[in-house]
Amino acid sequence: MAIDSISNIASMTHYPKDEKKDEQKKLVFDASVLKFESQIPKEFIWPDDEKPSANVPELQVPLIDLGGFLSGDPVATMEASRFISEACQQHGFFLVVNHGVDAKLLADAHKYMDNFFLLPLRQKQRAQRKVGEHCGYASSFTGRFSTKLPWKETLSFRYSAENNSSKMVEDYLLNKMGNELRLLGRVYQDYCEAMSKLSLGIMELLAISLGVGRAHFREFFDKNDSIMRLNYYPPCQKPDLTLGTGPHCDPTSLTILHQDRVGGLQVFVDNEWHSISPNFEAFVVNIGDTFMALSNGRYKSCLHRAVVNSHKPRKSLAFFLCPEGDKVVTPPAELVSQNRPRVYPDFTWPMLLEFTQKHYRADMNTLQEFSNWVQQRNS
């Protein structure tokens, strides 16, 4: 569930002309070829201390039924907020069921992911993500990082809840991929709208759990300017050497993830990795760095990663909730006191996005490093 930074490492390395061309050639990630290779390129091999373990324990995360909250039941609402509070203080992960998202829309979102990622590489590259941007198609971020490359492909696009942006996703994908994939755009426009609605409901529960005004965070994110990402993890013949996504905390506010039925998500809790098994009826929700700052550090943005396997592709849909660009990320007054002073400086989401795009590869220390960067800029 990473919002990976974009740093053109290849362009910073000095090669003789032909050598550079050969190096870039090697770094092409074509899943249709590499998924059969018994020897994976060295750029995808992770350090020994970061390689995945064979067996990890299951993380016990609360399964929160949103049915009562969505129907206005005050008792069910308080119970849901209590479960969320406990999870967010411990590790920031929880599952939600009876979430109100249409089952056919979920099925279509997974189907059209297959339709896109099974296209020939050249066709997918029509939506190629450019250096310095966070939207578009990326085949493992080759040419941006030179080591510890993730074994995955992604397609990312922006979603805005502004009234005049009602077809933003549809128009973007139509422009990039052409009329033959028009339905892809419609499905993900609808999916993003459903995720935005679900996010705002969860924001209400987060506000209740923190003891601030129920509408506070909902209003803060009402016109959210968010990121949607489709993740595709091809099979890898050496899954013990690489990672689908490296260890990181999400720099965004809230992540809503829908996994297919192939496992791979792992969370670092109590100094060891734990898995979160797939549940097709549920969404996995986790707190990101921006909301950790909004809560003045009360709620945790937790380290997580994705592993791959040798026999089956894994897919997931990740919606990253982000505030509008001019919203100042500052905790509500109720969460600041003499005994609990401010932990992080004021910032806007575009500032943090710029930091992770141009200056820092997202990891477990992103928020603290960003805070230091902001304070140095302001001094």
Indicate which residues carry an active-site annotation. Answer: 314
Alpha-carbon distance values, 59 to 79, 225, 237, 266, 285 (Å): 21, 31, 27, 8, 14
Rounded Cα–Cα distance for residues 130 and 138 (Å):
9
Written as one string, the DSSP assignment of 218-239 is: HHHTTT-EEEEEEEEE---S-T
The DSSP 8-state label assigned to residue 233 in this structure reads E
- Return all residues near 52 (Cβ < 8 A) that are at least 6 apart: 239, 240, 243, 266, 273, 305, 307
Q: Please check whether residue 221 is in contact with residue 253, taking contact to mean a CB–CB distance below 8 angstroms.
A: yes
Q: Please check whether residue 288 is in contact with residue 249, taking contact to mean a CB–CB distance below 8 angstroms.
A: yes
The order of strands in the sheet holding 304-306 is: 245-248, 304-306, 265-269, 272-275
Q: Please check whether residue 166 is in contact with residue 151, taking contact to mean a CB–CB distance below 8 angstroms.
A: no
How many Å separate Cα 70 from the centre of its chain?
A: 25
Name the burial class of residue 195, with classes exposed (0-12), middle (13-18) and buried (19+) by CB atoms within 10 angstroms of its CB.
Answer: buried
Q: Which position has the token pair 């459903």? A: 194
The DSSP 8-state label assigned to residue 48 in this structure reads G
Q: Please check whether residue 192 is in contact with residue 156, taking contact to mean a CB–CB distance below 8 angstroms.
A: no
**Phi, psi (rounded to 5 degrees) for 222:** -55, -45
- Written as six digits, the tokens of 226 are 């968010």
**Phi, psi (rounded to 5 degrees) for 153:** -120, 150
Q: Please check whether residue 217 is in contact with residue 294, taking contact to mean a CB–CB distance below 8 angstroms.
A: yes
The DSSP 8-state label assigned to residue 36 in this structure reads T
The DSSP 8-state label assigned to residue 355 in this structure reads I
Give the HSE-up count for residue 78: Cα atoms under 13 Å, Cβ half-sphere.
2
